[in-house]
Structure formats: structure tokens, C-alpha cells
Amino acid sequence: MDVWLGVVGNQTVRAGGLLRGLDLPVDLIATSDDWGVQKPDIGFFRRLIESAPTSNPSRIIYVGDRIDNDLMPARAVGLRTIFIQRGPWGWIFRESPDLDEVADWRVISLNEIPEIVARERSRSS
């Protein structure tokens, strides 16, 4: 199976509709309003797992810029995590002592993620 890509986040139904209208090359676009549950609630991340084509959460890599809202709850349900240091939250959390406990990888740019995914796919093959 190829890589499955989802874009999910705390956004409105309207924002989700606008994003889906862009016809982006992704497999899923979903918002917290679509699902009726917001991050950091564990239910948000469970909905993500239910939406993915795998029932094994450790085969899902979640990318986020916040420890409290993204990485900790994602890790709590068994997802692998990438901390992206961009935007204000990325800069705020970049020196956090908790980061090493909840992030499997750290990146500055989304362009770094395909290489991580490729390495993980080759390890699991």
C-alpha cells in the first residue's frame, strides 16, 4: 500500500469544506467540527485512527507543533509523532524538556517528512 495522507485539525466545518474544495492530493481532510471532538481530547485521535486504512496506531505518524494539544494525546493512543518547529507554537515548544519524550522526530519543514516516512516504510517491509 502507498502512503495514506490525512489533514486533520481543530477547525470549523466551513474550513473543512473550503479545504476539501481545493481538491488537494490527500486521502482525508477532516476537522474537529466534522468529528464533534476537539484536540487535545483523545477522542479526536481515536477518530483519526478509525479513519485511517490501518487499525495499528503505531503505523500512523501524526505531525504537530504543540506538545499539549498534538503530541501528548497522539502518543497516548499509540501514534508515532513528528514535532514541526514552525509557527508560534513550534518556536514556543522547541526547547521544552518534554519534547524528547513525546516526539519520535523533530523537523523544521514539511519537506523533511517524506524521507522519514520512506525510512519507516523500508524498516517495516
Do 7 and 28 touch, CB atoms closer than 8 A? yes
**Residues 44 and 37: beta-carbon distance below 8 Å:** yes
- The domains of the chain are located at 6-124
pLDDT tens readout for residues 89-123: 999 999 999 999 999 999 999 999 999 999 998 88
pLDDT at site 2: 81
pLDDT digits (tens, 9 = 90+) for 42-68: 999 999 999 999 989 999 999 999 999
Its pTM stands at 0.93
Q: Which fold has domain 6-124?
A: Rossmann fold (3.40.50)
Name the residue among 69, 83, 78 with its Cα closest to residue 32. Answer: 69
- Is a pLDDT exceeding 60 seen at residue 86? yes
User: What is the pLDDT averaged over residues 19-25?
Assistant: 96
pLDDT mean across residues, the chain: 95
